[in-house]
A = this chain, B = another copy of it.
Amino acid sequence: MLLDGKAISNKIKEDLTKRVKNYLVKPCLAVIQIGNNEVSNIYVKSKEKACNQIGIYFIHVKFEEDVSEQEVINKIIELNNDSYVNGILLQLPLPKKFNQYKLLNLISKTKDVDGLTDINMGLLFKNHNNLVPCTPLGIVNLLKEYNIDMVGKHAVIIGRSNLVGKPLAMLLLQEDATVTVCHSKTNNLKEITKQADILISAVGQKNLVTKDMVKENAVIIDVGMNRVDGKLYGDVDFENVKDIVSYITPVPGGVGPMTVAMLLSNVVKNYEKNQ
């Protein structure tokens, strides 16, 4: 059975649209982009479109690549202090000369709708979730929407990034799953993935997860986004895996739309919290 992230995200967006309609002042998301990375351009456009769709005011701050660090810092501080702005997002990756880590952590923890600042990660770690990274949040919400039981289940995550693997491990522990984190150094990947009741791949490698690595009736979440000859593939060999599992996310149309929906949801929730 398909885990239809597209459909669920539409449901979430409809709900957000209804809520936002009632407000005098719109919720507001500011996206800071530096340079002209083509993939970033596409992502920023799609965020803008989604915001417009549900009624979030969208500010696109686009700096040339030769902007000084101080100018970017000043802008972040300005947005932190702007009471109309409910969310600030630094579009990654930044051009190499910028200290991504430093700039990211200047975003106020109350506006960090990507949930990537040190302090919001620490809060997640200690089960005091404030703003949580959108992709892992989208995954857990997708599982919940399909009433997939996580308690005591063995969830195996491939990938240990700050963006997906590690925050997802924390969220799944909060849902009482037993959690294993695998990565490039894992000795016996297949042996471990074959035990997974819920298997999440967040690596970025086409056909990394093959049929022989998957337990029958497992739930498969594919976070991979691999563009090959203009076509988008996940990490999972979907065609061969889909028939032996109970649930699986398609790529595209699985985790991707959920990520965007969670960003919108973080902005609106943040807005409502401060009303």
Given the known interface contacts A118-B119, A119-B118, the answer about A125 and B182 at a Cβ–Cβ threshold of 8 Å is: no
Binary B-proximity of A171-214 (CB < 8 A = 1, otherwise 0): 00100101111110111100010000000000000000000000
Is the Cβ of B178 less than 8 Å from the Cβ of A181?
yes
Which residues of chain B are near A181, meaning CB under 8 Å?
Answer: 169, 173, 178-180
Cβ of A126 < 8 Å from any Cβ of B?
A: yes
Cβ of A154 < 8 Å from any Cβ of B?
A: yes
Which residues of chain B are near A151, meaning CB under 8 Å?
Answer: 185
Cβ of A93 < 8 Å from any Cβ of B?
A: no
Cα A170 to Cα B166 with chains together (Å): 9
- Those of A73-130 within 8 Å (CB) of chain B: 101, 117-128
Is the Cβ of A176 less than 8 Å from the Cβ of B166?
no
Which residues of chain B are near A169, meaning CB under 8 Å?
Answer: 169, 181
By beta carbon, the residue of chain B nearest A153 is B187
Cα A179 to Cα B172 with chains together (Å): 14
Cα A143 to Cα B208 with chains together (Å): 32
Which residues of chain B are near A179, meaning CB under 8 Å?
Answer: 180-181
Is the Cβ of B178 less than 8 Å from the Cβ of A180?
yes
Is the Cβ of B154 less than 8 Å from the Cβ of A192?
yes
Which residues of chain B are near A41, meaning CB under 8 Å?
Answer: none
- Contact surface of A with B, Cβ cutoff 8 Å: 101, 117-128, 151-154, 160, 162, 166, 169-170, 173, 176, 178-183, 185-188, 192
20 sampled A-B residue pairs with Cβ under 8 A: A118-B119, A118-B128, A119-B119, A120-B122, A121-B126, A122-B123, A125-B166, A126-B162, A152-B185, A152-B186, A154-B188, A166-B170, A173-B181, A173-B183, A176-B185, A178-B185, A178-B187, A178-B192, A179-B181, A180-B181
